[in-house]
Amino acid sequence: MTENSSPSAVQQLPYAPSDPDAPRLQQVHVTVDAAQELGALDRPWASLGYDEINWTYTPQGRRTLRTIGGFAETPYHVRPHNIFNSGTGFGLPHWGSGNVYHEDADGKPFYDFTIADLTYDAIVEAGHHPLVELAFTPLALVPEEARTDFPFGDSPSQYSGYEAGWWTYPPKDYAKWGGLVAALVEHALERYGADEVQHWLWELWNEPDISYWKGTPEQFHELYDVTVKSIREVYPEAKVGGPAVTGGDRGAEFLRGFLQACADRDLPVDFVSFHTKGSHFTPWRTYGPIGAPASLQQSPSTPKMLREIDRALAVIEEFQRYAGQPVIVDECDASVPAHWGIYDNSNFAYRNNEYYPVFQAKLMKKVLDLNEQHTAKVHEATTWSFQIEGERYFEGTRSFVTAAGVEKPLMNAYRAFALLGDRRIAASSDSSADISDISALGNGLAEEVDVLASRASADGSVAVLVWRHTDDQYAADTTTARVDLEVNGLDSGDWTVQHYRIDHSHSNSHTVWQDLGEPQDPTPEQLATITDRQGLERFAADAAVTVDGSLSLTLDLPLPSLSLLVLTRAV
C-alpha cells in the first residue's frame, strides 16, 4: 500500500554483485581515542514503522514492541500507517484500518477510538512513543470523483474500490477532516496525559508525491494548514511536521514546494520528514525458483540512500526557518517492499541473515557522518520493519521476527546500538569508505572495515563497534580480515573487555535453523535450540586487562560481520 510500490517511484539502483575473484581485505588498522569526545552520540536508529497497524496489538506485535522496549536505551518512535482508514481492523500485509471516522444518517461525524486505543496502548505500554501518521482518507470523506477516476471491478481478492485506492484522494470536506484530527489529539491527551503526548509527533499523510495522494500539491498544502491549526487548537505544544516524501527527484521537488508553502503561510514545521530506499530489485518479483541466477543477483545500495538523504538535506537548508528542525527519515530501508520475501525474489535473502544487521550498522554510521556535512541533520532514520503475521519461517520479509516470534539477526544490530554510550569519541579505520563526495561513490560501497565508538558519561565505559561489509550480499568470505585495534586515551588501571559478535555463527538464529534442516514445523526441542541462539552473543569470555593509557587488540572479521567491544573499568 505504500513504500514506492510502483516502479516509477524509485530511482532503480540496486547494486549488482562485485567480482567474486576480487582481492579481499586482509589487514586493517583501527584507532580509537577515548579521550577525544566529539559531542553527544545521536541515536538515529531509535525508531521503527510498518504498514500493518492492526498487527501492533496482536500477541506477537505486543511481544515484539516489548522486546525492543526491554533493551532500548531510549524510547523509540513507532510509526504505523492507516489510522484513519476505514475497515474492520482485520490485519493484512500492506494494509490496515484504524476505522476512527464515521457519519450518521444526517452526515454528522462521530468517532470510534477502539482500534486507536489498542494501537497506542501497545506502543506506550512497551515504553515507546507514537509518531502519528495522520492518514488516509476515511470512506465517508472520499470524494465522488474517486469512484469514476479510480474504477474498480468486483474481485474475490479485494474488498472494494476503497481498499484498491479511493483512500488516496483528498478528503471532500477539509473542515470534517480538521474535526477528525482534533478529536484524535483530544482523545490522546485524555487517555495518555500531556506528560506522555508531549513526546508524540504528528505527521500529515505518507508519500504525497506519488500515487498515495491523488490531489495537487496545493491541495496538500491546504490540508496541512487545516491539520496543523486543528492540532494546535487542541494542544498548542504539539510537534507537527511532514511531508514524508519519497527519495526520488519528485520527492525533492515536492519537499521544496511544501516548505515554501509553509513559509509563505507562516506555518510551523517542527520536524521535516522524507524517505529513502536502497533498492528496488529488477525484475521486482520473479515468480521463479528460490536462488537467483548470477545475472539477477542484486544487493541494496548504500550510496543511493546517502545521495537521497544528502539531496533532501540540501533542500531543507534552502529554508533557514526550518533548517535547524529535526529531520526524520521515517522510512529508511535497504529495499522495498517490506512484506515480500525470498519466494517473490531471492535477493531478499539478506533480510534473514547476518548481512542485514551489519548493513544497518554501516548505514547508521554513514548517516551520522553525513550529518557533519550539513546544517540540517538527520535525527531519526526509521527502519520500516516490524513483524508479519502468518509467514513461513525465515520468509525473507523485512522484519525483526519471523514465524513463532523467532528473532532474526536484525534485532541484534539494535541490541548492539543500545550498548553504545551517550558520547561519541574519535575513531578511524584505514579501510573505511570516504563519503565526502557522495556523487563519486557509484552504486555500491566496496568492502570496508569501519568503526563507531562511544564513551558512557555514567561510568566511563568505552564501546567500540567495528564491522566488515560490502554492498554485495553474495560476497560472503569466511577468510577473516585481521583488524589491529588500538584504543588510546584510557585511564590506567584494570579494565574488563566484553566482546559481542554478529556473523554467520554468532547471534544468528537463521544459521541455527538452517543447521537443523530448515524445518517449517520445528519440534519444541528444535524451536528451543533456535531461540537459545537468537540474542546478541558473546564472541569470547570476558577478559580482564591492565591498561597503561592504551589497549591493543586483534580481531578476525569474516565478511560480513560486526564486533562490539565494551570496555569497563574494574571495580
Block residue for cell numbers 496489538: 57
> What's the half-sphere exposure (Cβ side, CA atoms, 13 Å) at 539?
19
Dump the DSSP string for 385-423: -B--TTPPTT---SBSB-GGGPBPTHHHHHHHHHTS-SE
Cis peptide before 522 (omega within 30 of 0): no
331 is catalytic: no
Other residues' Cβ atoms within 10 Å of the Cβ of residue 104: 8
Report the distance separating Cα 557 and Cα 505, nearest Å: 12
**One-letter identity of residue 339:** H
**Beta-bridge partner residues of 466:** 451, 563
Encode 273-311: b = buried (16+ Cβ within 10 Å), e = exposed.
Answer: bbbbbbbbbeebebeeeeebeeebbbbbbbbbbbbbbbb
Residues 135 and 8: their CA atoms lie apart, in Å, by 23
Distance CA 43, CA 158 (A): 40
Pairing of strands 537-547, 493-502: antiparallel
| Cell reading at 495 | 579494565
CA distances from 37 to 45, 467, 486, 496 (A): 21, 21, 16, 21
Asked if 132 and 271 count as a contact pair (C-beta separation under 8 A), the reply is: no
What sign does the CA torsion over 131, 134, 138, 142 have? negative
Position 172: which residue type?
Answer: K
Q: Which residues contact 216 (CB under 8 A, 6 or more apart)?
A: none
Q: State the Cα angle at 503 between 73 and 294, rounded to 5°.
A: 125
Residue 247 three-state SS: coil
From the candidates 3, 52, 133, 207, give the one annotated as an active-site residue.
207
Could you tell me the three cell numbers for 402?
519471523
CA distance 470 to 446: 5
Residues belonging to the active site: 207
